[in-house]
């Protein structure tokens, strides 16, 4: 076990931060680590918007469903899939393919995970904000995102003012498959469900008792963000 592995295994989402700023040196290192992430075919189709304007922060917190830490964190970044930069190089670039949407999302996620891992190694904490996709058009307008650029998610970073437990992940036997896909073992799932139920009970002082299966059943009981396909197409993504 080394420090890198210990840092990765101790990941928690941090939603409360103190008022201490992140230094320019720390921020630059974090963003350098993001830029160093793997990128499909060296396309480099990720852009990051660092949001410092407090009114924009307030609006983004609102657009994300009322998440106050978007406005309160020392730093807030919006990660984007960006093919507009490529159009500036090759105006007749063939864009709009579904595969490019996947590449943009994957590249962005890899870069952002590098950034968060780097931040946590420096003693900082953070949380991803997928709620920006609740209002992708408003986010795009606020940040001046042109065609062929879409917001993927946000990332709050700061000095932690809380120390939550590590949320138990799926056991390896349900996560790792060898040679072929294997259906879940029901007994292992039942044990994990009880672990998650106890985690929520402890974390909320008994106000929430929900298994992972309960959570999945509720989450996948309806379509999330049914406007997303039309938004992607309006920005030039997944049109073919």
- What digits encode the pLDDT tens for the residues 105-135? 999 999 999 999 999 999 999 999 999 999 9
Are 163 and 125 a contacting pair, CB within 8 Å? no
Q: Would the pLDDT of 28 be above 90?
A: yes
Q: Would the pLDDT of 206 be above 90?
A: no
Query: Which pair of structure tokens corresponds to residue 39?
Result: 């990128």
pTM of the model: 0.95
Task: Tell me what pLDDT residue 125 has.
Answer: 98
Indicate the average pLDDT of the chain: 97
Once rounded to an integer, what is the mean pLDDT over residues 228-238? 98
What residues contact 119, with CB distance under 8 A and at least 6 apart? 26, 30, 125, 126, 157
Please give the Cα distance from 119 to 115 (Å, whole number): 6
Please give the Cα distance from 104 to 84 (Å, whole number): 12
The predicted-structure confidence for 136-176, as pLDDT tens digits, reads as follows 999 999 999 999 999 999 999 999 999 999 999 999 999 99
User: How sure is the predictor about 15, in pLDDT bands with cuts at 50, 70 and 90?
Assistant: very high
Task: Tell me what pLDDT residue 66 has.
Answer: 97
User: How sure is the predictor about 88, in pLDDT bands with cuts at 50, 70 and 90?
Assistant: very high
| C-alpha dist (Å) from residue 128 to 14, 20, 73, 90, 141 | 9, 20, 12, 33, 21
Please give the Cα distance from 87 to 107 (Å, whole number): 18
CATH of 3-165+223-234, picked from 3.40.109.10, 1.10.10.1100, 3.10.129.10, 3.40.50.80, is: 3.40.109.10
Query: Which pair of structure tokens corresponds to residue 102?
Result: 């996947």
pLDDT cut 70: percent of the chain above it: 100
> Would you kindly state where each structural domain of the chain is located, as residue ranges?
3-165+223-234, 172-209
State the residue for tokens 């509720």. 218
Q: Would the pLDDT of 195 be above 90?
A: yes
pLDDT cut 90: percent of the chain above it: 98
User: How sure is the predictor about 205, in pLDDT bands with cuts at 50, 70 and 90?
Assistant: confident
């Amino acid at each position: 076990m080394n420090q890198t592995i210990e840092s990765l295994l101790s990941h928690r989402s941090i939603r409360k931060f103190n008022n201490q700023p992140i230094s320019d040196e720390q921020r630059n290192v974090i963003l350098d680590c993001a830029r160093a992430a793997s990128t499909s075919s060296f396309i480099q189709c990720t852009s990051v918007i660092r949001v410092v304007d407090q009114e924009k922060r307030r609006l983004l917190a609102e657009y994300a469903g009322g998440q106050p830490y978007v406005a309160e964190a020392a730093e807030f970044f919006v990660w984007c899939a960006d093919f507009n930069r490529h159009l500036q190089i090759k105006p007749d670039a063939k864009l709009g393919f579904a595969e490019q949407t996947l590449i943009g999302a994957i590249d962005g996620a890899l870069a952002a995970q590098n950034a968060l891992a780097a931040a946590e190694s420096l003693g900082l904490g953070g949380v991803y904000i997928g709620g920006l996709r609740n209002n992708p058009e408003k986010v795009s307008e606020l940040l001046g995102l042109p065609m062929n650029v879409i917001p993927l998610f946000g990332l709050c970073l700061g000095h932690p003012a809380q120390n939550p437990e590590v949320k138990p992940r799926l056991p390896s036997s349900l996560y790792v498959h060898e040679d072929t896909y294997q259906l879940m073992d029901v007994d292992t799932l039942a044990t994990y469900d009880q672990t998650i139920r106890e985690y929520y009970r402890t974390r909320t002082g008994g106000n929430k008792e929900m298994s992972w299966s309960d959570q999945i059943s509720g989450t996948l009981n309806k379509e999330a963000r049914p406007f997303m396909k039309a938004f992607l197409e309006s920005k030039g993504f997944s049109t073919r």
